[in-house]
Amino acid sequence: MLWIKAFHIVFIASWFAGLFYLPRIFVNLAMVEPASRAERARLLLMARKLYKFMTILAVPALALGVWLWWVYGIGRGPGQGWMHAKLAIVLALIAYHHSCGLLLRKFESGQMPRGHVWFRWFNEVPVLMMVAAVILVVVKPF
């Protein structure tokens, strides 16, 4: 079980690296001057590759989490309300990941109505979710 936990943490940390960095690329894309096609193309290429890579990392992260929950029963039973809250955060992270893909498609099609300030705030969402999830797992407040 410790190997499963260790790899779960590694894949979660790797997935979060992408969740932290891709919106930062969006900030830069939102700031690109319309005449700067090469810069825009380079940032879009980086964003596409990162999105694919972080999707690949998310799959084992989630699968190992399900394994820990289902096979080992971690977070099941009475007094495990923290796990329900953490699972809600995981679902929100999956939705955030998916929204990053939708935003990337909008950037690619040139239909992005949002500015760089909005993306700076959007960039903070996974940080808050990570803090909440870590507190729930370590402290188990309820």
Query: Please, what is the end-to-end C-alpha distance for the chain in angstroms?
Result: 24
Structure tokens at 9: 């943490």
Model confidence at 1, in pLDDT bands (50, 70, 90)? confident
Model confidence at 80, in pLDDT bands (50, 70, 90)? confident
d(CA 114, CA 106): 10
Contact in structure between 113 and 26 (CB atoms under 8 Å): no
**Domain residue limits at 69:** 2-139
pTM given for the model: 0.93
When divided into structural domains, the chain yields a total of: 1
Residue range 91-120: mean pLDDT, rounded: 96
Please name the residue ranges forming H helices in the chain: 2-31, 37-70, 81-109, 116-122, 125-139
Q: To which residue do tokens 């239909």 refer?
A: 111
Beta-carbon contacts of 122 under 8 Å, excluding residues fewer than 6 positions away, are 23, 26
- Among 126, 111, 104, residue whose Cα is nearest residue 46: 104
Beta-carbon contacts of 42 under 8 Å, excluding residues fewer than 6 positions away, are none
